[in-house]
Amino acid sequence: MIVGVGIDVVDVARFVATLHRVPALRERLFTPEEREMPETSLAARFAAKEAIAKALGAPPGMRWQDATVRRISGSAPVVELTGTVLAQADRLGVSRWHLSISHDAGIASAVAVAERD
């Protein structure tokens, strides 16, 4: 059963400009592992985190670093949750995630589907 669906689109140039203008944003939004990624990938990760939050109903108090998107070569992206985001997913009974992310032509996008058994 689908618990929630989230979608987000990010203008990559605008997002990168914001990262340069507010350097602390990189640390607030991303885990140490994610911070090392290229800026276009960070824009896609941001879109993914937004989509995950929307699929969970976007309750206040969720921390950006409590959702990590891992890319394993040859497979779909993997959603890993901890802390505040995991707590909300558990409250809703989420047992599985489906995530699609992309970045091309200056746009990063993501769709997340939260599912429970």
Domains of the chain: 2-115 (3.90.470.20)
DSSP-derived 3-state class of residue 103 = strand
Print burial letters for 7-26: b (CB count within 10 Å at least 16), e (below 16): ebebebeebbeebeeeeebe
In terms of Cβ atoms closer than 10 Å to its own Cβ (0-12, 13-18, 19+), residue 67 is: buried
DSSP 56: T
DSSP-derived 3-state class of residue 107 = strand
Question: What are the φ/ψ torsions at residue 69 (nearest 5 degrees)?
Answer: -110, 120
pLDDT at 71: 83
pLDDT at 106: 95
C-alpha torsion angle, residues 72, 48, 102, 75 (rounded to 10): 20
Q: Does 74 have pLDDT greater than 90?
A: no
Q: Strand 107-115: give its sheet, edge to edge.
A: 2-11, 107-115, 96-104
DSSP 90: H
Do 1 and 32 touch, CB atoms closer than 8 A?
Answer: no
pTM over 0.75: yes
pLDDT at 76: 87
The pLDDT confidence band at residue 15, using thresholds 50, 70 and 90, is: very high
